Chains A and B, each alone.
Chain A
Amino acid sequence: MRKTSIGAAAGLAVVVGLAGCAALAPSPDYDAMLAEMMKTSFRGEGIATVDRLQQDASNAECSKSVGKPLPQARAQAIEQANLATVKMPSDGKFIGDWKEGEKLAQNGRGMTWTDKSSATASNGGNCYNCHQLSKSEISFGTIGPSLYNYGKIRGVADPADPAAKPIVDYTWSKLYNAKAYNACSGMPRFGHAGMLDETQLKHLMALLLDPKSPVNQ
């Protein structure tokens, strides 16, 4: 989706351009100026290459709304497109090791121009930057909701129980591609963007859903 969506973004720009024509006084074409400014202002450094500035359709549309909510129909279309990218685990197993998940949640590294490698093994989950998880970690962010007791609140006593299946599927999809449920979510699309691999996602699943995980204590 990331690669094919550039055309979609261009299509969107055309629509916006036409809407602009309806206005009485022609306002400056800020979008074109912005594109030029972004191009001339940045350069590649290490693994952070300039192609990172390219937006897919979701990012382009959420950027252009400059903080205002999207019309419901547009939001739903973006969510559907993102949901379609979600790949469930190849072996059908969702739950890894919560201890590894906790390490990933603590780790905020990866993908900056000072990081050496963009391999998934070099990346953390960044979870505590934005979310509360286990009670013992007092240094947590609040950009996202608290995930303390995530599985417990949702009544997950055994993630393998078929009754837990909807929550398990939802949680996996949310981690894989957060825009599947909230078009302009601030959360990275860890699976879709290739930031975390299947095994790492399973560890985060365990942190959230394993009844033994400190998140559910």
Chain B
Amino acid sequence: MHTRRDMLSHSAKVAAMLAAMGMLPALAQAQAGSWNAAAFEAKNIDELMKALGAAAPAQSPDVTVTGPDIAENGAVVPVGASTTLAGVKRMLLLVEKNPAVLSAMFDVTDAVEPNFSTRVKMGQSSNVYAVAMMNDGKMLFAQKEVKVTLGGCGG
């Protein structure tokens, strides 16, 4: 059980190291100052939490993820993350089965509600997560399954 997790943790460290040296191609391209390359390259939730220096998240009824039960097209899937809780630092949108698990990350200020909607790409049917990163370091999530159907004609 632990082997896989350790390995992932190790590869995350390597990625972070390469990142620090500017050796990952995507990182080399990173232009925006604070863009967290390691987080956006994380292949799974464990890797992502490590890249963010966060603890494993716990499910919470106070966090809501919105999305359709079925997406007619994986190229555009409307999703949203919100919470009723105060003291939120960031809201994250994750697609479990995408090549990179993190889709978007929103920094919350006192001037905005912790409620963000966007549209993501999904390569296949997957769980979608909304994660609230709290000021006290807690990570709270909600998840739902979104099915992606085949388009017509297949060609």
In the complex, A touching B (Cβ < 8 A): yes
Residues of A at under 8 Å CB distance from B?
106-110, 112, 114-115, 124, 126, 128-129, 138-139, 141
Q: How far apart are the CA atoms of A112 and B152 in the complex, in Å?
A: 14
Q: How far is the CB of A102 from chain B (nearest CB, A)?
A: 14
Q: Is B149 in contact with A112, judged by CB distance below 8 angstroms?
A: no
Chain A residues in 8 Å Cβ range of B152: 108, 129, 141
Chain A residues in 8 Å Cβ range of B154: 106-109, 124, 126, 129
For residues 101 through 155 of chain B, which have their beta carbon under 8 Å from a beta carbon of chain A? 149-150, 152-155
Q: Which residue of A lies closest to B150 (CB)?
A: A139
Q: Is B149 in contact with A129, judged by CB distance below 8 angstroms?
A: no
Number of A-B contacts (CB under 8 A): 24
Q: How far apart are the CA atoms of A165 and B62 in the complex, in Å?
A: 63
Chain B residues in 8 Å Cβ range of A124: 154
Jot down 7 A-B pairs with beta carbons below 8 A, ordered by A.
A106-B150, A107-B154, A108-B152, A108-B153, A110-B155, A112-B155, A129-B152
**Interface residues of chain B: helix, strand, loop or mixed (majority):** loop
Q: How far is the CB of A205 from chain B (nearest CB, A)?
A: 21
Q: Is A114 in contact with B149, judged by CB distance below 8 angstroms?
A: no
Chain B interface size band reads under 10
Q: Is B150 in contact with A114, judged by CB distance below 8 angstroms?
A: no
Q: Is B149 in contact with A115, judged by CB distance below 8 angstroms?
A: no
Q: How far apart are the CA atoms of A110 and B155 in the complex, in Å?
A: 8
Q: Which residue of A lies closest to B154 (CB)?
A: A108
Q: What would 15 more interface pairs be, CB under 8 Å, given A108-B154, A141-B152?
A: A106-B154, A107-B154, A108-B152, A108-B153, A109-B154, A109-B155, A112-B155, A114-B155, A124-B154, A126-B153, A128-B150, A129-B152, A129-B153, A129-B154, A139-B150
For residues 39 through 84 of chain B, which have their beta carbon under 8 Å from a beta carbon of chain A? none
Q: How far is the CB of B74 from chain A (nearest CB, A)?
A: 12
Q: How far apart are the CA atoms of A121 and B154 in the complex, in Å?
A: 16
Q: How far is the CB of B84 from chain A (nearest CB, A)?
A: 34
Q: How far is the CB of A22 from chain B (nearest CB, A)?
A: 43
Q: How far apart are the CA atoms of A106 and B155 in the complex, in Å?
A: 11
Chain B residues in 8 Å Cβ range of A138: 149
Q: Which residue of B lies closest to A140 (CB)?
A: B150
Q: Which residue of B lies closest to A107 (CB)?
A: B154
Q: Which residue of B lies closest to A126 (CB)?
A: B154
Q: How far apart are the CA atoms of A141 and B154 in the complex, in Å?
A: 12
Q: How far is the CB of B110 from chain A (nearest CB, A)?
A: 45
Chain B residues in 8 Å Cβ range of A126: 153-154
Q: How far apart are the CA atoms of A29 and B72 in the complex, in Å?
A: 45
Chain B residues in 8 Å Cβ range of A106: 150, 154
Q: How far apart are the CA atoms of A128 and B149 in the complex, in Å?
A: 13
Q: Which residue of A lies closest to B152 (CB)?
A: A129
Q: How far is the CB of A45 from chain B (nearest CB, A)?
A: 14
Q: How far apart are the CA atoms of A188 and B149 in the complex, in Å?
A: 25
The 5 closest A-B pairs by CB, nearest first: A108-B154, A139-B149, A139-B150, A109-B155, A108-B153
Q: How far apart are the CA atoms of A112 and B154 in the complex, in Å?
A: 11
Q: How far apart are the CA atoms of A204 and B150 in the complex, in Å?
A: 20
Q: How far apart are the CA atoms of A141 and B149 in the complex, in Å?
A: 13
Q: Is A108 in contact with B155, judged by CB distance below 8 angstroms?
A: yes
